[in-house]
Structure 1
């Protein structure tokens, strides 16, 4: 038998061994209208609104507002073969996944939707959430906006020239295929990095997600658009200002931990091992401001259970899920927050007329930190 005939025989044997698909969809999945979790939630929202909020991490009013925003983008057309999955079901499944981190095979028993369909609809809905909530994470790009942020830090954290707290968080993921140790971090697991800048109200004002876990926080920051604007002096940071009880001018700064490089506009703590009493006072004041980013990460992980165990998806999909949660975090914060620092701007001497002079005579980063240290020990 020649090779051509042998190949035909083998191919025929393989075809015969293939199992024919017996059913297109399981019968009980066709009973979605009858058994879906949404029917139970319709009862819960009337009798126990708190349980509804616990289920989706938001009230019914907030859920319906969000549904109106996403529906035009995720609504599918019915066909002669079957009804499409409604926008309400798509949003409900996505929010439940983000709130619990349950795997798709588990979610199918409450949503009565196949795992394959759940997988695609969650990513699509997360992309839509990022789009419709895009204005809820906004980096200040004018002096006036930065001054509002500084006023909040002055009131809440007693750091009058702070513009934001910067830090990174490792988002645990399952080992991506064919990546070796690329995503393996110093904590001993695989991750992508969420780099965030947070204001005094624990809201994200800048997020960058997706860098592999092997890169340090300082290294991740280097590749962000924020740092590019920072180095090019395109953030429009206000000029140095006088602080109460001092005749010196102090630059506006971002605060971070030891993982980042010291800069005139980026303050980090003094090393703990060689810390004097005065330097320890500075570290405590800086820590008060820096804690807002740790608190924001804590709220994010507490509200969205998807972060409480490794995300069993590839880095690209895990990035979209993380971004969607960050936007939802700000959306939910703003729904419950009614705070304005507009009246506090007048108490800050901007010193705009001295911009060029102070720019030419700017101190290096260490002397700037020392000047803050002296001031915090006198006030």
Structure 2
């Protein structure tokens, strides 16, 4: 009996030792928070911004946030209900203004969170959470800024703008995609590894004649590195199901030719009935060169939109150190801000300091050309019809003599 009792006691002692060794020892912190973080109201960058604003140096203010004072205050008013937190007996909450200011500065500069903490006087953990929460709030309140046409009349309004500005009629938008560099996600293998040799997600966008995004699709893994990525978007799903309400083919101005409405793109995408791309370089003649020029001229709006986005928001100058879903949210936030500023403060947005792109950046890389070499015959006929139109009835007259 005594022997059994001793064995049980030994077992209990062994179990107790195992449990005690498995439990992590409590770390006795010397302080709850760093003292300098408690002096945010003294050292915060908002004090500097207040001084800049009081001296009426609006250019510097707009460069700091990539927007003027009026847009900042309007946006702050919209996001405040989504960012406001209650103060506690332990400490005061971070105000919506501080959250919005920190997020906009992060988007504008692309500085690391460790570096940003010395400007906004917040802990890195708090900054990371604030950036994501604020981006969600911005996307929510600016939903109206990116709106894809849903009726024939809305599509025709987009086409009319292209015709008036770029003399490319029946054009419903310019389509393109870019690789946005990200840090390799954990346990992802080669899922996000693209043909250029870095990890990325794809930003697919349709742009109108005013360089505004009317459709964005973000998050497809970079491994799908050619025009086939379009097939994974919600936009293409709606197109396949004929739910986009595209207008019926119409007569081109000044002629009797009938042409369907088309979306223009580059060599990265496959030619289709409603998707136009340039003629291959190895089959050009004078007429086809004219067509390629007219298409390239109209399609420049999407390259300009990406160029503005890349120069105004410094986060695209380096790989995003966030998991893919959060990187997609941050990218979408910049697209919504781009449209918002073009619509409400285009002058200050476009005239503010342009950030020079780093020669070593891997972000915003063009997509790989598609390997589809056998487009449908009717798509080829549509392209040839437009080619003949641009060289005859739709020819651009440069002066009164017609030369």
1:311 correspondence with 2:320: yes
TM-align CA RMSD: 1.8
Shift, 1:289, TM fit: 1.2
CA distance in 1, matches of 2:275, 2:233: 15
TM-score by length of 2: 0.85
Deviations 1:41-71 (A, max 9, x none): 1010121121111100000111000000000
Q: What does residue 175 of structure 1 align with?
A: 184
Q: What does residue 260 of structure 1 align with?
A: 269
Q: What does residue 400 of structure 2 align with?
A: none
CA distance in 2, matches of 1:3, 1:96: 60
The structure with the greater share of residues assigned to helix is 1
CA distance in 2, matches of 1:337, 1:302: 15
1:374 correspondence with 2:373: no
CA distance in 2, matches of 1:281, 1:3: 89
How has the CA–CA distance of structure 1 residues 81 and 268 changed in structure 2, closer, same or farther, with 3 Å as cutoff? same
Of the candidates 224, 231, 235, which is equivalent to residue 222 of structure 1? 231
Deviations 1:125-153 (A, max 9, x none): 00011100001000011111111111111
Counterpart of 2:220 in 1: which secondary structure?
strand
Select the structure of larger CA radius of gyration.
2
Shift, 1:157, TM fit: 1.4
1:20 correspondence with 2:34: no
Compare 7-16 and 280-289 and name the one that shifted more.
7-16
Does the CA-based 8 Å contact 2:67-2:345 persist in structure 1? Answer: no
Shift, 1:217, TM fit: 4.3
Deviations 1:74-113 (A, max 9, x none): 0001011110000000000000000011111111111111
Aligned positions, number: 356
CA distance in 1, matches of 2:197, 2:336: 28
Of the candidates 194, 202, 206, which is equivalent to residue 211 of structure 2? 202
1:42 correspondence with 2:50: yes
TM-score by length of 1: 0.90
How has the CA–CA distance of structure 1 residues 255 and 87 changed in structure 2, closer, same or farther, with 3 Å as cutoff? same
Does the CA-based 8 Å contact 1:241-1:250 persist in structure 2? Answer: yes
Of the candidates 378, 385, 391, which is equivalent to residue 364 of structure 1? 378
Q: What does residue 354 of structure 2 align with?
A: none
Does the CA-based 8 Å contact 1:168-1:217 persist in structure 2? Answer: no
Shift, 1:13, TM fit: 5.1
Shift, 1:337, TM fit: 5.3
Shift, 1:12, TM fit: 3.8
Of the candidates 94, 105, 116, which is equivalent to residue 96 of structure 1? 105
Compare 75-84 and 243-252 and name the one that shifted more.
243-252
Counterpart of 2:239 in 1: which secondary structure?
helix
Does the CA-based 8 Å contact 1:281-1:377 persist in structure 2? Answer: yes
Q: What does residue 146 of structure 1 align with?
A: 155
CA distance in 1, matches of 2:192, 2:199: 5
Deviations 1:157-196 (A, max 9, x none): 1101111000101110000000011101111110000000
Q: What does residue 361 of structure 2 align with?
A: none
Of the candidates 111, 114, 133, which is equivalent to residue 105 of structure 1? 114
Where do 5+ consecutive residues of structure 2 fail to align? 1-6, 348-375, 396-403
Shift, 1:15, TM fit: 5.6
